Amino acid sequence: MLTYSMEDRGSLPLYEYLYRCIRRDILSGALAAGERLPSKRTLAEHLRLSVITVEGAYAQLEAEGYVYAKPKQGFFVCPVQQTPEPPRPAAIPTEKPAPVWKVDLRSNQADGSRFPAATWARLTRQVLSEGSFLTSVPHQGLYALRQAIADDLHAFKGMSVSPEQIVIGAGAEYLYMLLAQLLGPKTVVAVEDPGYPKIRQVYGKCGAVCRPIPLDRQGMDPAVLAASGATAAHLSPNHHYPTGTITTIGRRQALLQWAEEREATIIEDDYDSEFRFAGRPIPALQSIDTHGRVVYMNTFSQTISPSMRMGFMVLPPQLLERYRRELGFYACTVPVLEQHVLARFLSGGYYEQHLSRMRKEYRARRDAVLAAFQASPFAGRVTFSEQGAGLHFLLRLDTSLDDETLRQKAEGLGVRLAFLSEYAAVPREEHAHTLVVNYGGLEPERLADTTALLTEVFSE
């Protein structure tokens, strides 16, 4: 007869403790396969338990397949493997803490401290009080948010799009995944070289084949693109990161012609285009696309906060139909609360106010950085370029040191640098000795220190 000391059960319910005791005996082999368990009544009397307690334990054992019932005969032990040793906890690789830098010129994130957090919090409280944050939204995203995005694109980028064309997603990387799935497996995607490495990484992980196309001063060369065999091209025609290149109107027209003739897709990634310091915003390629070949995409991670993954894409009619047919089953990945708040942040004008303030702020910051560098001991050995937009500029250094040596030297001094060569898929000599100086997080009060540290890094 099964005998267990029910006093040892601690805080467990009686039935659960009994279930655990019998389970242990089955797993250890003390109760062999085919053996019959005592009847509920017998065991209950033996252990001074209620029949209901034994019933509960037997039911759980049966549900998990430790025992099986034969009508009118009772419960029998199932064949299971004996597991003498308890599982040993395996070694878990620990997470590396993010290193702390004295100066970080590599992070291209906007300065979060300038974000109107109070306004955002107020709008969030508003949505919370209305209780609509638990309702479900269409798979393409909250309609009010898509309307607000369409309005913003119309007012500030000269684009005429319908909310129906917009798909909301949890950041650029997620949208790249959807696009890779939409284009289909093995699609050859032309990407800009140099370019943001994550674009190549995500497409590669999603089964697309990336063909890096070298950029010249006008953008991607349509002849090289045509020869590449690509049927899709991922471009940043309005402000390329990190070279700052703006694709000229002649090139835009030629790229669109390529897409029409090849029935190819152009993905216009408008990352980092908001902070243009002189003149008006560059009109989107999408706005001159008469044949529905351009997908426009952008994210709010850069302009609002990287802590909120929110982006969107605008699909041309034919691709929209394919999206709904093939990928329409995907639920929207952005929480409804954030979608409501962003819709109000956009339609209330707070977003463009914020951008306008930040453009001034970053322009001042950029001017201060350039002035400090031009007054530094290394001024005679550097040339600047691409400083018209974005939160970075290029700094070409006259040096005999290679990029890797410079990088290590900098890290030894607590300085994190980014090099143009890191963005290249195919290394070329013209990329060497060129720093991508991301000054978005470089507050004025840290400029003197930064210049002094860079002087040491650049010394030979």
For the chain, the distance separating the N- and C-terminal CA atoms, rounded to the nearest angstrom, is 85
Among 249, 370, 372, 401, binds a second copy (CB under 8 A): 249
Residues across the chain: 460
- Considering the complex, what minimum distance in angstroms separates the CB of residue 459 from a second copy? 33
Using the contact rule CB under 8 A, the part of the chain among 113-121, 228-236, 404-412, 418-426 near a second copy is 113-121
Tell me whether residue 271 or residue 373 sits nearer to a second copy (CB atom).
271
Among 282, 297, 410, 447, binds a second copy (CB under 8 A): 282
Query: Are the beta carbons of 417 and 454 closer than 8 angstroms?
Result: no
According to CB under 8 A, which residues from 173 to 202 bind a second copy? 173-174, 177, 181, 185, 198, 201-202
According to CB under 8 A, which residues from 355 to 414 bind a second copy? 388
Mark 65-92 as b/e (b = at least 16 C-beta within 10 Å): ebbeeeeeeebebeeeeeeeeeeeeeee
Using the contact rule CB under 8 A, the part of the chain among 38-46, 247-255, 370-378, 398-406 near a second copy is 247-255
Tell me whether residue 102 or residue 291 sits nearer to a second copy (CB atom).
291
Structure tokens belonging to residue 116? 């109107």
- Considering the complex, what minimum distance in angstroms separates the CB of residue 455 from a second copy? 30
Q: Give me the phi and psi of 290, to 5 degrees please.
A: -90, -10
Q: Are strands 232-235 and 265-269 parallel, antiparallel or unpaired?
A: parallel
Whole-number Å distance between alpha carbons of 242 and 233: 18
Residue 271 buriedness (CB in 10 A; 0-12 / 13-18 / 19+): buried
- Considering the complex, what minimum distance in angstroms separates the CB of residue 310 from a second copy? 8
Cis previous bond, 237, omega within 30: no
Query: Are the beta carbons of 156 and 205 closer than 8 angstroms?
Result: no
Tell me whether residue 114 or residue 428 sits nearer to a second copy (CB atom).
114
Binding of a second copy by 299 (CB under 8 A)? no
According to CB under 8 A, which residues from 409 to 438 bind a second copy? none
Nearest to 239 by CA among 171, 169, 157, 306: 157
Structure tokens belonging to residue 383? 């040339």
Using the contact rule CB under 8 A, the part of the chain among 158-166, 356-364, 421-429, 449-457 near a second copy is 158-166
Tell me whether residue 357 or residue 428 sits nearer to a second copy (CB atom).
357
Tell me whether residue 68 or residue 412 sits nearer to a second copy (CB atom).
68
Taking residue 93's Cβ as centre, other Cβ atoms within 10 Å add up to 5
Query: Are the beta carbons of 156 and 352 closer than 8 angstroms?
Result: yes
Whole-number Å distance between alpha carbons of 31 and 76: 10
Determine the angle formed by the axes of helices 336-347 and 143-157, rounding to 10 degrees: 30
Among 8, 280, 375, 380, binds a second copy (CB under 8 A): 280
Kindly state the number of chain residues that form the binding site for a second copy, as judged by CB under 8 A: 104
Determine the angle formed by the axes of helices 51-63 and 40-47, rounding to 10 degrees: 120
Among 74, 212, 214, 283, binds a second copy (CB under 8 A): 283
What is the Cα 26 distance to its own chain's centre? 47
According to CB under 8 A, which residues from 70 to 109 bind a second copy? 78-81, 83, 85, 87-95, 98, 109
Among 69, 227, 229, 250, binds a second copy (CB under 8 A): 250
- Considering the complex, what minimum distance in angstroms separates the CB of residue 41 from a second copy? 20
According to CB under 8 A, which residues from 15 to 54 bind a second copy? 15-16, 19
Whole-number Å distance between alpha carbons of 231 and 227: 11
According to CB under 8 A, which residues from 259 to 278 bind a second copy? 278
Site string (312-341) toward a second copy, x via CB under 8 A: ----xx--xx--x-xx-xxxxxxxxxx---
According to CB under 8 A, which residues from 207 to 226 bind a second copy? 207, 218
According to CB under 8 A, which residues from 118 to 147 bind a second copy? 121, 124-125, 128-129, 131, 133-138, 140
Tell me whether residue 167 or residue 233 sits nearer to a second copy (CB atom).
167
Amino acid at 428: R
Binding of a second copy by 170 (CB under 8 A)? yes
